[in-house]
Structure 1
Amino acid sequence: MANVKLVLLVLLLCSIFNYNEACPSECQCSEASEITCDSIDALPSSSELFDSHSQITSVSILNSRSITEIPADYFNDLAMLTTITLSDNGLTTLNLSSFKYLPKLSSIDLSDNPIDCNTDIAWLNTWLAASDGNQVTGLCSSGESVSDYLGTPDAANLLKFTFKQENFEIQEASEVLKIIVERDKDFNNDVRAKVVSELHGVTDEQFQVLNKLLTIKRDYNREDIRIQIQDDDIVNLEERKVKLTLVPESLTALGKSAALVILDDEVSSTPHGGVSANTTSTPKDDDEPGGSAVWIIIVIIIIIIVVVAVVAVILWTKKSKAQSSTTPAGQQAAYSAVQGEGDKKVYNATTEEIA
């Protein structure tokens, strides 16, 4: 028992050591998913700070007057991040491009920064309108509070991603299926969102999103999520559910979720609700029930048509020859071609029939 406790203690110490080893030396990283960088000369690179801490919930960068801006893409793809504290630095502005794919961010603290309150930070008003729980604190360099400068949150510029349908029943299939995603506004640039799936009772191998990064082009207002569901050949009576969530790239866009229920082919014949099959999907086997019978019927019909056509041509040809031989010109031609007694008999017989 003592040996087991010793092993567990060693593993715990190693995990703590490795966790702190991945943290930049000028910062502190806790196992409670918090990172604090206090009184630093320069920002650590985004990869250095976050690559080993993708599940962090809080980031604090404090008391560093040499930090005057946050680089583009710095806070990127941190799914659990809720709080960013940037107090007592030298920030004069805050760019939207610094924040991407942050679905749970709800608090930005800009206290004690010489923020220039102008149109460069107007995007924060749209972000505040995305959720009642979003908040930004701090003062402008003029002494006015940032929230007062931004005014009442206005959703006029808030982009919304929506599903064409929010609830789906999908049967197991080998085809690539498409779920339609729309946006509610026209923009002069492409907009992007990530597709995040939560699986319940279904494996990653059976349910696959083929295009997890969705881009809606500037000239279009819709795009398709392509999914593939493999039939596991097992009869499943219990519902298997998938939650699809759109996580926008921009903080000024709002995502949406849709619920999918996967039905077993052997249990229900419900058609794809709001889901269309891709025309380039994998062809079905020839021995699928009903498939080969259709082809056999088609082949039989073609053969019958060909036979009827051939018989019709033969009958028409015989009739034409018979009519040709009963005319005077035909008689003369037959007579000129007659050679020998046997042929003459044929001619005489023809002459008698005409008479």
Structure 2
Amino acid sequence: MKPKLLILREIEHHTKDLLSEHFDIEYHPSYSLEELQNLIQDAEALLTMGTLIDENLIKNAPNLKIVSNISVGYDNFDTHAMKKAGIIGTHTPYILNDSVVDLTFGLMIGAARRISELNSAVKRGLWTVKNDINFYGLDIHHKKLGIIGMGRIGEDLAKRAKLGFFMDVSYHNRHKKPNLDEENIIWKPLDQLLQESDFIVMLTPLTEETKYMIDEAKFKQMKNTAIFINMSRGATVDEKALYNALKNNEIYAAASDVFVKEPVNKDNPLLQLDNFTATPHIGSASKETRNDMAQLAAENLIEVFIKGNHQNVVPELQFLVK
């Protein structure tokens, strides 16, 4: 008898067909929380994107052995509760790197050249002078880019910035990466990076150490022409401090794909600022990338649950794989 797999996300037919070779599938891409409590009861495996895996869910899932997350991040995993219940968790790293970098450059260009703001101005009939100095923005090419959190996405961003925009790139990370020295991508102390950079991109994971890492004091260290981009997690940045820095022109502009509360509250004061650009956590949200992530998540289930391999098991739960 095949193990029971509950799928809580829409996936392509070929991915579903692959899984059906190994699992007895229950497919519910749309569900309520009340329905989930019943759906999860018989599941031995779960394929999802962002469903909170905590003690409340686990107590309704006595047979659950593995959760495959269609995401590189897994902050929806209560790894302590999963460890206690013996539930393995997997994720989909690396496959979304290029798409996240694409969006990062989109936000950098959009914020520097004020694309969203000026698009709105044109549509509201405010373009009345052909060469209006009030529409000026800032250049990106040949500027200084500082990256906070130098994982694989950061490395890809740095290389594209140097090759495509001729930027001077530095980074801050817990550990220096000697391989980047050869490409003249330089590690700097955080304070120095903040003071010198024209563009600052936040890519660090959310941990107790990085929670609200960019606060009022950090914004005050930045140039008043600096542009800040958050592509990590909302809680790595103090949103009130960001609002004040933008409102008081302590920095030039900012953009964020992530927020402390998601979906973002419509009354979040950041949304009222012309020099702030928001996107709804779409770093990996291209059709091609999301399909590839779902395919990898499916392969993770087969490799780990069926074959007993360690493919893309989150570090905190590696020991559960026999």
TM range (shorter): under 0.3
Q: Normalization by structure 1: what TM-score?
A: 0.23
Bigger CA radius of gyration: 1
Q: Normalization by structure 2: what TM-score?
A: 0.24
Q: Which has the higher helix share?
A: 2
Structure with higher RCO (Cα < 8 A, 6+ apart):
2
